[in-house]
């Protein structure tokens, strides 16, 4: 752990941007009774996140946190322009009819941003059901069902939550060990059901129902009740981390920042690789595991579709993008001279395979001057009934693999008169 923090410190010294966690949070003005990082019931949690003794170059976690409040006017679609290294914190919202609820378009944008790599902490617990008009949209997108333990007297009892076996990555995190957390308030949430491949991090002690889990499709953290992070659940006053509820809050943000991104394949000739810091690797060819291919890199020799499955530090097994190894090379000449002498009179794309393809040639203004889907259908240098001018033209070749993936090749060709 000390080695990790020292490495982070060195990176911070050379690249200041790497030492800041941008946390997006919807402003409290979005709802009359919202529970967000901008609302009074979460001010103590906010102070702890902004305390440089907790998050900062000299703090417990060697990155500072910047909280970006906003998205109050129905503009959650703006998240699409945020870096996918950021975190989005979704609290709880009671939205009476006088305040616009979240739209499908907004939630679609947030979900699409998450699928591209953005990290979401989603506290979608319902409070008073007559106001929780937005939760069904979240549940449908993230594929879970929210449950309520019922209306209680919040002055009498708490609902205790304990870590599940997979939860040690979160509950025994950067800010120390957490043996249990609690809910308060008049309603207590739980996850009735979630995705089959999710990693359950915590369960309610009394019912064994899920309370916190990691979604392995989006790598988002789903939390059953916002009060794990509020004073109703036990967050202490002030900016100091003083109890287990406080440690759970801090562990959450440190964990989500350190949670690895989806693997992206980098190709150098026939050598494929992803980053080295995943827990395990398994390479596949045409969706079949390759025996012994369990390193971060793999040299391909045969034609086929390749991908790698890795295990991230949250325990989820995730799949990379695909790489197509195609032994059928595309050839387009660098120049042609349509003068009728029988030598290089046509611009053709030579492709010996039978998969579907499309070949297009563009002029300098981006207009398509020629298109073909057959190797023996070539451009003769005529556009709209006139001889095209001499000069350099761009071309694009689109081929479709057996799995339906479109691969693009681009280049230029010179027309010589």
Spatial distance between the Cα atoms of 394 and 196, rounded to a whole number of angstroms: 48
Kindly indicate the confidence band of residue 70, based on its pLDDT and cuts at 50, 70 and 90: confident
Q: In the numeric block, which tokens belong to residue 154?
A: 């919040």
pLDDT digits (tens, 9 = 90+) for 169-227: 999 999 999 999 998 777 778 888 788 889 999 999 878 889 999 999 999 999 988 88
Q: Domain segments of the chain: what residues?
A: 2-258, 266-325, 335-415
- So what's the pLDDT on residue 137? 72
SS3 (DSSP) at 197: coil
Kindly indicate the confidence band of residue 3, based on its pLDDT and cuts at 50, 70 and 90: very low
Return mean pLDDT, the chain.
85
pLDDT digits (tens, 9 = 90+) for 289-307: 999 999 999 999 888 889 9
Q: Does residue 8 carry a pLDDT above 80?
A: no
In 3D space, the residue among 185, 339, 163, 174 whose CA is nearest the CA of residue 250 turns out to be: 174
pLDDT digits (tens, 9 = 90+) for 245-262: 999 999 999 999 999 988
What are the backbone dihedrals phi and psi of residue 150, each rounded to the nearest 5 degrees, phi first? 110, 170
SS3 (DSSP) at 223: strand
Mean pLDDT is lowest, of 62-66, 78-82, 276-280, for 78-82
- So what's the pLDDT on residue 96? 52
| Helix 135-142, helix 104-115: angle, nearest 10 | 30
Kindly indicate the confidence band of residue 134, based on its pLDDT and cuts at 50, 70 and 90: low
pLDDT digits (tens, 9 = 90+) for 394-412: 999 988 766 667 778 889 9
Spatial distance between the Cα atoms of 265 and 271, rounded to a whole number of angstroms: 10
- Give me the CATH topology for the region 335-415: Immunoglobulin-like (2.60.40)
CATH of domain 2-258: 3.40.50.880
Q: In the numeric block, which tokens belong to residue 334?
A: 């660098």
- With residues binned 3-state (H G I as helix, E B as strand, rest as coil), the percentages for the chain, rounded to 5, are 20, 35, 45
Spatial distance between the Cα atoms of 167 and 182, rounded to a whole number of angstroms: 15
Percent of the chain clearing pLDDT 70 (strictly above): 85
- So what's the pLDDT on residue 133? 46
Tokens 């209306």 sit at which residue? 151
Percent of the chain clearing pLDDT 90 (strictly above): 54
Tokens 């020629």 sit at which residue? 370
SS3 (DSSP) at 332: coil
Q: Does residue 152 carry a pLDDT above 90?
A: no
- So what's the pLDDT on residue 370? 97
- So what's the pLDDT on residue 176? 96
């Amino acid at each position: 752990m000390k080695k990790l923090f020292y490495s982070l410190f060195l990176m911070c010294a050379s690249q200041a941007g790497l030492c800041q966690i941008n946390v997006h949070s919807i402003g409290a003005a979005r709802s009359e009774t919202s529970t967000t990082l901008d609302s009074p019931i979460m001010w103590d949690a906010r102070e702890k996140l902004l305390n440089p003794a907790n998050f900062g170059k000299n703090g417990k976690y060697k990155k500072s946190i910047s909280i970006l409040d906003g998205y109050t006017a129905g503009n959650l679609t703006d998240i699409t322009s945020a870096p996918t290294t950021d975190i989005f914190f979704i609290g709880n919202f009671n939205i009476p009819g006088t305040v616009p609820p979240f739209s499908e378009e907004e939630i679609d944008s947030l979900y699409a941003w998450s699928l591209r790599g953005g990290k979401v902490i989603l506290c979608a617990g319902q409070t008073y059901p007559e106001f929780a008009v937005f939760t069904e949209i979240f549940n449908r997108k993230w594929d879970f069902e929210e449950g309520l333990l019922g209306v209680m007297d919040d002055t009498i009892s708490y609902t205790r939550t304990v870590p599940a076996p997979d939860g040690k990555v979160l509950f025994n995190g950067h800010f120390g060990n957490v043996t249990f957390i609690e809910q308060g308030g008049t309603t207590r949430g739980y996850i009735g059901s979630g995705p089959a491949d999710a990693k359950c991090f915590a369960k309610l002690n009394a019912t064994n129902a899920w309370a916190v889990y990691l979604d392995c499709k989006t790598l988002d953290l789903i939390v059953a009740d916002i009060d794990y992070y509020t004073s109703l659940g036990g967050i202490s006053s002030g900016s100091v981390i003083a109890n287990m509820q406080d440690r759970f809050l801090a562990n959450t943000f440190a964990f989500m920042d350190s949670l690895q991104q989806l693997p992206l394949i980098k190709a150098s000739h026939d050598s494929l690789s992803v980053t080295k810091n995943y827990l395990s690797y398994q390479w596949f060819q045409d969706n079949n595991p390759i025996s012994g291919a369990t390193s971060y890199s793999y040299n391909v020799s045969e034609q086929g579709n390749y991908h790698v499955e890795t295990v991230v530090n949250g325990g989820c097994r995730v799949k990379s993008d695909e790489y197509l190894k195609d032994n059928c090379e595309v050839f387009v000449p660098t120049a042609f001279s349509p003068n009728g002498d029988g030598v290089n009179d046509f611009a053709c794309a030579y492709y010996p395979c039978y998969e579907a393809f499309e070949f297009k040639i563009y002029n300098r203004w981006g207009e398509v001057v020629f298109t073909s889907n057959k190797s023996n259908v070539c451009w003769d240098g005529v556009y709209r009934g006139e001889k095209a001018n001499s000069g350099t033209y761009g071309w694009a070749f689109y081929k479709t693999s057996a799995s339906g993936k479109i691969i693009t090749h681009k280049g230029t060709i010179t027309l010589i008169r």
